């Protein structure tokens, strides 16, 4: 040991896994998360707004935001896309939205990753996608006889996500997710999951609505169902996320550079 207590050797620049990483996340992590999402695809949660095509959604949907928080926007999006793609084939009973749900999963996790990104303008891109999807969804509904008032009531939870995204609550969620305190972590995950899920939901709903337009009177039924569905996603995502992030912190495995915890 050198006299000043510092190691004698020169500090080296460490490259992880020989550079086998995507946007700072080791490929092994992406594969593991894809596998986790594929497995979660097997579990149907019977609280879906889309009653006409099954009435359930796969549990993996509740973890898309989490994957973004843990891997960052690009790696998280990739993991979610791979996981969903595998899930469609291995768990077809929960794949009511089919192949388009792969793209939805990717966007969903990318929005999650952009929430915890400290640098860059990815959060703005996510906001743009969310706002455009929201407007397009309302416009489509209006063109099919859903008046604006009903449309706003049905998508109130989605709108709340966009507003929370614009307000300082996005930074608050990011700060809490990074906090060592487990209660704050859980709070940050809950708030973050709500924002990410509600912002991404309209994007995920667009194509199913184009392909299978539910009538205007169904929109009224969805007024309480959509928030309930989002609440279930938030609870599941928070429970899984609190355990996973606490475990990852405790084990001390390498943290992806874009991770938010």
Partner 1 sequence: MGQDPLVHIDNLSYQYPRAKDLALRDVNLSVRRGEFLGLVGPTGAGKTTLCLALSGVVPQFFGGRFYGQVTVAGLDTVETPISLLAQHVASVFQDPDTQLIANSVQDEIAFALENICLLPEEIRRRIAWAVQAVRLQGLEGKHPSELSGGEKQRLAIAAALALQPEVLVLDEPTSQLDPVGSQEVFATVRELNAELGITVVLASHASEELAGFADRIALLAEGQLVDVDTPRRIFARPDLLSRYATRPPQVAQFYQELARRGMPAPSAPVTLEQATASYEALHEQIQLRLCEFAANMSAASGPPLLSVRGLEHVYPDGTRALQGISLDVQKGEYLAILGQNGAGKTTLVKHFLRLLQPTAGQVLVDGQDVGGFQVSELARRIGFVSQNPDSQIFSSTVEAEVGFALRNLGMNGPALAERVEQSLQTMGLVEHRSEHPLSLSKGDRARVVIAAVLAMQPDILIFDEPTTGQDYRGAQRILDISRELHQAGKTIMVITHHLHLLPGYARRIIVMGKGVILLDAPIRQALHDIPTLSGTFLSPPQIVQFALWLASREQVSLPVLTPEELAACFRSRVGSA
User: Among residues 9 and 168, whose Cβ is nearest to partner 1?
Assistant: 9
Start-to-end CA span in the chain (Å): 33
Q: By CB under 8 A, which span of 44-52, 100-108, 125-133, 239-247 interacts with partner 1? A: 239-247
Among 4, 143, 149, 250, binds partner 1 (CB under 8 A): 250
Least distance to partner 1 from the beta carbon of 179, Å? 15
255 sits near partner 1 (criterion: CB under 8 A): yes
The two structure tokens encoding residue 254? 């390498």
Question: Distance between CA 169 and CA 167 in Å, rounded?
Answer: 5
Least distance to partner 1 from the beta carbon of 4, Å? 13
> Contact 236/62 with Cβ under 8 angstroms?
yes
Question: Distance between CA 249 and CA 253 in Å, rounded?
Answer: 7
Among 4, 15, 143, 149, binds partner 1 (CB under 8 A): 15
The interface mask with partner 1, positions 26-45, x = CB under 8 A, is x-------------------
Q: By CB under 8 A, which span of 10-18, 99-107, 208-216, 225-233 interacts with partner 1? A: 10-18
Q: Please state the φ and ψ torsions of residue 44, each to the nearest 5 degrees.
A: -85, 135
Among 3, 119, 168, 252, binds partner 1 (CB under 8 A): 252
Least distance to partner 1 from the beta carbon of 2, Å? 8
Residues that contact partner 1, how many (by CB under 8 A): 27
Residue 185 Cα to chain centre, angstroms: 16
168 sits near partner 1 (criterion: CB under 8 A): no
> Contact 158/134 with Cβ under 8 angstroms?
yes
- The helix (run of H) or strand (run of E) holding residue 22 is strand 21-22
46 sits near partner 1 (criterion: CB under 8 A): no
Least distance to partner 1 from the beta carbon of 75, Å? 16
247 sits near partner 1 (criterion: CB under 8 A): yes
| Dihedral class, residue 153 (left if φ above 0, else alpha if ψ from -120 to 50, else beta) | alpha
Whose CA is closest to 59, among 233, 243, 245?
233
For residue 171, the tally of other CB atoms under 10 A from its CB is 12
User: Among residues 106 and 245, whose Cβ is nearest to partner 1?
Assistant: 245
3-state secondary structure of 141: helix
Site residues for partner 1 per CB under 8 A:
1-2, 7-20, 26, 243, 246-247, 249-255
């Amino acid at each position: 040991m050198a006299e000043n207590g510092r190691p004698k050797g020169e500090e080296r620049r460490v490259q992880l896994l020989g550079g086998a990483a995507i946007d700072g996340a080791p490929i092994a992590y992406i594969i593991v998360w894809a596998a986790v999402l594929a497995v979660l695809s097997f579990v149907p949660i019977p609280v879906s707004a889309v009653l006409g095509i099954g009435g359930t959604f796969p549990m993996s949907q509740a973890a898309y935001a989490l994957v973004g928080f843990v891997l960052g926007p690009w790696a998280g999006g990739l993991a979610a896309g791979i996981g969903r793609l595998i899930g469609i084939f291995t768990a077809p009973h929960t794949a009511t939205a089919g192949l388009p749900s792969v793209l939805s999963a990717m966007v969903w996790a990318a929005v999650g990753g952009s929430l915890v990104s400290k640098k860059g303008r990815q959060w703005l891109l996510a906001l743009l996608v969310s706002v455009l999807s929201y407007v397009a969804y309302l416009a489509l509904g209006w063109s099919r006889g859903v008046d604006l008032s009903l449309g706003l009531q049905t998508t109130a939870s989605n709108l709340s996500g966009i507003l929370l995204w614009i307000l300082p609550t996005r930074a608050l969620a990011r700060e809490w997710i990074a906090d060592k305190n487990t209660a704050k972590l859980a709070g940050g995950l809950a708030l973050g999951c709500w924002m990410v899920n509600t912002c991404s939901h309209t994007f995920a709903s667009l194509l199913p609505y184009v392909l299978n337009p539910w009538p205007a009177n169904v929109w009224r039924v969805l007024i309480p169902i959509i928030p309930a569905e989002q609440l279930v996603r938030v609870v599941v995502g928070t429970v899984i996320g609190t355990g996973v992030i606490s475990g990852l912190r405790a084990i001390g495995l390498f943290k992806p550079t874009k991770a938010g915890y």
